[in-house]
A and B are shown apart, each in its own frame.
Chain A
C-alpha cells in the first residue's frame, strides 16, 4: 500500500508495539529549554537514572532571557534560577550542543535547531514545547511533549505513542505579493478551526507549499499546533536539501551523499491514503488579521469584525461576544480602523532573517506612527541578529523608530520583562492571541511580519498588498 510521509516516519521509528497499537517510538533529536526541563531532570535524578543518549540533546535558554541590557544579566531572580538550573543540568549531564544565555548562537529553540542543521529530514524531533511542530518543515516527525515525556525521552530515548491520523492540507496556486506563509497558516486555521487537526499529523503539500522557502515552511508548520495538530510536515525537495547543505551539524562528504539519497525518499507516495483532506486556493489568499482570542477568530484585512448576532450557534456566539468584550472591539468595524499601541516582530513563528527582511522593506524610510508606544524587533537567534546587522536591517528598523532587541521568545508569551499592559493592543507576528498571552489584559492581533510593519507605520492595520 502506498505510504504517506507520516506513515514512513512512523514506521521507521517503531521500536516495539503492543497489541492495542501503543508503540515505543525512537527519538532522534531532543530539544531542551529552561521552562519545561527542570522537573524532568529532577525526576531523573530522584529515580537514580541517567540520560540515555546525551548526543541527541540540543539545548538553549530562550523563554526567560531578557531582550535588553544583556550585560546586566537576568534581573528577575525566579527567571534567573530557571536558566541557571538548565546551566547546571547541562554541566552535569552534557549535550550535543548547549547554547546558553549570552552565547552568540543562543536563540529560540525552534529557530536554532534548523539554523544549526540539528534538525534533519527523517528524524523524530521532540521538545517540551508545542511549537516543535516547526521542525516538520524538514520532513521530520516533530511535536511538542509535556515534562513527564521530556523525562521519559531522557531516560529511554523513546516516547510511548499511538499513531495519529493522516491529514493532508493541499494548497495550489501562486501566493500574491504581500501575502505570506503566516497568512496561509491563519487561513488554514480559519477554515478548519483550532481543533480541526486534533489527533492528526498534517502534511502540507501542493504547488504553493513547494514554492515556499524553508523559512516559510517553518512558519506554516509552526502554526499546525494552532489548528490542533501536534505535528505538521512538508516533504523533502531540492529547497530542503539546499537549505541544509553546509549547516554546522549537517552531514558532510560521503555521509552527506548517503543522507541526501535517503532524504529524497521522504515524500508521500502517489495514491497514499489520507484520512482527511483539505484544499485551499492560494490565489484567493489575502493578508489575515485575528480579531479575537483564538487563532481561528481571523478575517482578511479588508474585512470587518464579525457580528455575533449573525452567528446561529449559541456556544460560538457566546465565545465571540466574550472575545469582543476582551478585545475592546465593536462588531462590523473595519479591520483597517483598528488602532494599535504596540507592535511585536519576533517569536518562533516569524523571527527569521526573511521575516526581518520583509518587515524592513515595508518600514524602510518611514517612521513609526506617533500613537505607537513601542515597536520592537526581536530576532530569533544571535545568528539571525548578526546576519540582519550585516545587511543593515537593524539600522532600517532603528531609523524608523523600532527598538532592536536581543534574541529570545520575548513578548510572544511574556515570560520575561517584555509584555503588554492591561488593555494595550498589539500587532504581533507571534502565534497565540489567547487572553493574557502577551501580558494580563493585553490584546493581541496575529499578523504577518509585513502586516505588523505596516501597522507600526500607519498606527492601524493596512493592507500591505496596496499600501505604500
Chain B
C-alpha cells in the first residue's frame, strides 16, 4: 500500500450530502476484475452527458460542464471536500479505488458511511472527519479562491491552509494511522498473530464443532 504522510494539493468541492457509492462509481463498471482503471468513470453519471458503459473511450464522451470536477480550476485536485454521510450505500471498494485512480488522496467531510470509511484506509486514501462548521468554512474558502490548496499532515493530524492561518485538528484511529504512515497492509500484520488465530480456532472447534467441516 502507498504511504500517506504529508499531502499538499488542490481542493475540489462536492457540495451535496449523502453522496452514495452508486454515484461515486456506477454499477456497470463493477464488472471489472481489476483494482485499477476506475478513475475515468468516477462520478460517471454526473460527469458526462449520456450513459457510460464499460469499454467506451471516455476521452471522446461529452462532459457535463456544470459538474464541479470538469471546471478547469479544480484540475489536478487531490483533496475532495464533501458533505455529510459521504460514501453511503454499497460496500464496493471500487468507490475508493475510483477516487484514488482519479488522483484524489484524501476526502474531507463532516461524516462518512462506515464501510466506505473503512475501505479508504486499505488503499492509502485518507478520509478526514471535521465539524460541519469547519467544512462550511472550507467550502467558502474553496469557492472564493481559485487554486485553493490545503496541506494534510497525518503525523500531526492537522489540515492546514496555505498561509497557515487555518489549522484544523482531526482524529484518526492509532492502528490505521500507523498502517497509512508506513504503507503497511493489514494482512501481514494480522498474520503475525497466526498462532493466536490457530489457538482460538482449535478451541472453537471443540466448543462449537457444528461451525466446522
Minimum Cβ distance to chain A for residue B122 (Å): 4
Please pick, from B88, B187, B196, the residue contacting A15 in the complex, using a CB distance under 8 A: B196
Contact A36 B31 (CB under 8 A): no
Contact A230 B84 (CB under 8 A): no
Q: Is B59 an interface residue, CB under 8 A from the partner?
A: no
Q: Is B190 an interface residue, CB under 8 A from the partner?
A: yes
A158 vs B27: C-alpha distance in the bound complex, in angstroms?
28
Minimum Cβ distance to chain A for residue B164 (Å): 30
Q: Which residues of A contact B201 (CB under 8 A)?
A: 26, 53, 157
Contact B191 A155 (CB under 8 A): yes
Q: Is B28 an interface residue, CB under 8 A from the partner?
A: yes
A38 vs B34: C-alpha distance in the bound complex, in angstroms?
8
Contact A160 B115 (CB under 8 A): no
Q: Which residues of A contact B141 (CB under 8 A)?
A: none
Minimum Cβ distance to chain B for residue A349 (Å): 13
Contact B28 A160 (CB under 8 A): no
8 Å CB interface, B158-208 against A: 173-175, 185-187, 189-191, 193-194, 196-197, 200-201, 204, 208
Minimum Cβ distance to chain B for residue A153 (Å): 10
Q: Which residues of A contact B194 (CB under 8 A)?
A: 156
A36 vs B32: C-alpha distance in the bound complex, in angstroms?
10
Contact A436 B22 (CB under 8 A): yes
A434 vs B45: C-alpha distance in the bound complex, in angstroms?
12
Contact A162 B197 (CB under 8 A): no
Q: Which stretch of B4-12, B13-21, B65-73, B142-150 is in the interface?
A: B13-21
Please pick, from B84, B96, B118, the residue contacting A149 in the complex, using a CB distance under 8 A: B118
A294 vs B200: C-alpha distance in the bound complex, in angstroms?
42
Task: Known A160-B186, A422-B51; judge A15-B197 contact (CB<8 A).
Answer: yes
Contact A230 B115 (CB under 8 A): yes
A85 vs B22: C-alpha distance in the bound complex, in angstroms?
23
A63 vs B94: C-alpha distance in the bound complex, in angstroms?
15
14 extra A-B contacts, CB within 8 A, seeds A413-B27, A414-B27, A436-B23? A15-B193, A16-B196, A20-B174, A36-B91, A63-B30, A76-B31, A78-B55, A146-B96, A148-B123, A148-B185, A158-B190, A225-B115, A316-B17, A434-B20
0/1 per residue, A1-27, Cβ < 8 Å to B? 000000000000001101010101010
Task: Known A415-B27, A435-B22; judge A130-B174 contact (CB<8 A).
Answer: no
Which residues of A are interface residues toward B (Cβ below 8 A)?
A: 15-16, 18, 20, 22, 24, 26, 28, 35-36, 38-39, 42, 47, 49, 52-53, 55, 63-64, 76, 78-79, 81-82, 85, 120, 122-123, 128-130, 132, 143-149, 151-152, 155-158, 160, 162, 194-195, 198-199, 225, 228, 230, 250-251, 255-256, 258-259, 262, 294, 315-316, 318-319, 322, 413-415, 422, 432, 434-437, 440-441
Chain B: how many interface residues by the 8 Å CB criterion?
A: 59
Contact A436 B190 (CB under 8 A): no
8 Å CB interface, B55-85 against A: 55, 83-85
Please pick, from B28, B33, B208, the residue contacting A39 in the complex, using a CB distance under 8 A: B33
Contact B200 A85 (CB under 8 A): no
A198 vs B212: C-alpha distance in the bound complex, in angstroms?
32
Please pick, from B16, B122, B213, the residue contacting A148 in the complex, using a CB distance under 8 A: B122
Q: Which residues of B contact A63 (CB under 8 A)?
A: 30
Contact A199 B114 (CB under 8 A): yes
Contact A198 B186 (CB under 8 A): no
Task: Known A251-B210, A422-B51; judge A152-B89 contact (CB<8 A).
Answer: no
Contact B89 A130 (CB under 8 A): yes
In the complex formed, the residue of A with least CB distance to B23 is A435
In the complex formed, the residue of B with least CB distance to A39 is B35
Q: Can you list 21 A-B contacts with CB-CB less than 8 angstroms, sorted by A residue number?
A: A24-B190, A35-B30, A39-B35, A42-B35, A53-B201, A64-B31, A132-B91, A146-B91, A146-B115, A147-B93, A151-B187, A158-B197, A195-B88, A228-B113, A230-B115, A255-B209, A415-B30, A432-B22, A434-B89, A435-B45, A440-B45
Q: Which residues of A contact B189 (CB under 8 A)?
A: 160
Contact A437 B114 (CB under 8 A): no
A258 vs B186: C-alpha distance in the bound complex, in angstroms?
36
Minimum Cβ distance to chain B for residue A221 (Å): 15
A157 vs B211: C-alpha distance in the bound complex, in angstroms?
13
Q: Which residues of B contact A194 (CB under 8 A)?
A: 18, 85, 88
A47 vs B185: C-alpha distance in the bound complex, in angstroms?
11
Q: Which residues of A contact B55 (CB under 8 A)?
A: 78
Q: Which residues of B contact A255 (CB under 8 A)?
A: 209-210
In the complex formed, the residue of B with least CB distance to A127 is B91
Minimum Cβ distance to chain B for residue A87 (Å): 12
A441 vs B187: C-alpha distance in the bound complex, in angstroms?
40
A78 vs B31: C-alpha distance in the bound complex, in angstroms?
6
Please pick, from A24, A132, A146, A151, the residue contacting B197 in the complex, using a CB distance under 8 A: A24
